[in-house]
Amino acid sequence: MPIVNRVGDFSGEIAAWRHDLHAHPELLYDVHRTAASVADKLKSFGCDEVVTGIGRTGVVGIVRGRDPGAKVIGLRADMDALPLEEETGLPYRSSVPGRMHACGHDGHTAMLLGAAKYLAETRNFVGTAVMIFQPAEEGGAGGLAMVKDGLMTRFGVEEVYGMHNYPGLAVGEFAIRPGAIMAAADQIVIALQGKGGHAARPHLAIDTVLVGAQIVNQLQSIVARNVDPLEAAVVSICMFQAGHTDNVIPQHATLRGTARSLSAEVRALLQKRVREVVEGTAALYGAKAEITYSTGYPVVVNHKRQTSLAAAVAEDIVGHDKVDTDVAPVMGAEDFAFMLQERPGAFIFVGNGDSAGLHHPAYDFNDEVIPIGTSYWVRLAETALRG
């Protein structure tokens, strides 16, 4: 069972919606135009209910099957763009300087709209499909905001499914795995205080550049020497700011970075060891370190039964050999994790082909994915809600 014919028929229309979203990127929770356009379309398709303002700017569209049934599943897309300057030169490129749909959320939103249109038209299922359009995936925890606003309980959602395009994976392929598929991402901010002074009299100063450099090095020993080598972890210090000139030892330094893991145990270990290593190293040199360790998105953990279902649906569409059911997890993060903490479900990757990477100024969602991803959504709903 390849692409759903009816979906193929209006894939051009879905692509046109995507191009419109692409030209009008919006950030985080400020997705007002996008959310309004999504809500208008859902209404025009004849969704039974369209609810706006969930988790600030989230939108939900509800389609009931030919027989109402008892089961309710949620299908989720994200709507927000990123703060970077687009360099694609496409006819539908961003019309807003410094903003760009560089993660393909325009494609995700358009495909889920396509699925809503098809499901409202055909209603070939028993139960209820809840189409979830969330704001603020890119660092704003919009998924959590929707959950806190009663997303699961208000609509009786029993299972949730998510999908993300994947550059480097061929168009017409899917990848998924049960268990952890994306990482927890926590933020590290270190404020160092030493003792400033003349560069020629270092013995009278406490050099925050030296202390910070030692901290950067020592932090790498956590992954190398504290984490079980069979577990995955990342500690990256990505910002180190200190000093203004060549003859002053700076009194202050600031370091920022990220800690990522694929299990709650490793996540807790990283937090504990980062604190110990930073404080211990600073103390060794007589400096003071203040650490702000903020927990971000949790691990995206796919549930077994729902992952098998998602994989089977993907195989129906693209063929058995085109679905990797044991893909290696990635250390990027996704706030769909919060929805999977509330309800069982599965997150799947759909191949975006040989495109520029996510968050790259030359990236573009591949329109060839539209019939594939949309077919996945509609078959998933029809399969999970077979009655």
Phi/psi-derived region of residue 28, left when phi > 0, alpha when psi is between -120 and 50, beta in every other case: left
Residue 346 CB, nearest approach to Zn ion (Å): 17
Token digits for 84? Answer: 């970077």
The residue whose Cβ lies closest to Zn ion is 103
With contact defined as beta carbons under 8 Å apart, do 26 and 33 qualify?
Answer: yes
Which lies closer to Zn ion via its Cβ, residue 4 or residue 103? Answer: 103
Residue 91 CB, nearest approach to Zn ion (Å): 23
Residue with tokens 């925890």: 141
The one catalytic residue in 26, 106, 137, 207 is 137
Residue 386 CB, nearest approach to Zn ion (Å): 30
Residue 78 CB, nearest approach to Zn ion (Å): 6
Residue 253 CB, nearest approach to Zn ion (Å): 30
97-to-94, 105, 175, 209 alpha-carbon distances in Å:
7, 18, 34, 36
Active site (annotated) includes residue 138:
no
The one catalytic residue in 80, 158, 173, 364 is 80
Closest alpha carbon to 101 in 21, 12, 217, 42: 21
Which lies closer to Zn ion via its Cβ, residue 38 or residue 103? Answer: 103
Which lies closer to Zn ion via its Cβ, residue 4 or residue 182? Answer: 182
Which lies closer to Zn ion via its Cβ, residue 125 or residue 377? Answer: 377
Which lies closer to Zn ion via its Cβ, residue 77 or residue 103? Answer: 103
95-to-25, 38, 158, 207, 362 alpha-carbon distances in Å:
8, 19, 39, 47, 15
With contact defined as beta carbons under 8 Å apart, do 58 and 35 qualify?
Answer: yes
Cα angle 61, 63, 64 (rounded to 5 degrees) comes to 145
| Binding residues for Zn ion (CB under 5 A) | 103
Active site (annotated) includes residue 137:
yes
Pairing of strands 67-78, 58-64: unpaired
Percentages helix, strand, coil for the chain (3-state, rounded to 5) are 40, 30, 35
Number of neighbours of residue 241 by Cβ within 10 angstroms: 11
Which lies closer to Zn ion via its Cβ, residue 61 or residue 140? Answer: 140
Mapped onto helix, strand or coil, the DSSP state of residue 119 is helix
Residue 7 CB, nearest approach to Zn ion (Å): 22
Closest alpha carbon to 332 in 249, 255, 234: 234
- What are the E-state strand segments in 27-125? 49-54, 58-64, 67-78
Mapped onto helix, strand or coil, the DSSP state of residue 378 is helix
Residue 62 CB, nearest approach to Zn ion (Å): 24
Amino acid identity of 41? K
Name beta bridge partners: 254.
191, 241
117-to-82, 113, 166, 214, 228 alpha-carbon distances in Å:
27, 6, 24, 57, 48
Which lies closer to Zn ion via its Cβ, residue 81 or residue 385? Answer: 81
The residues assigned a catalytic role are: 80, 137
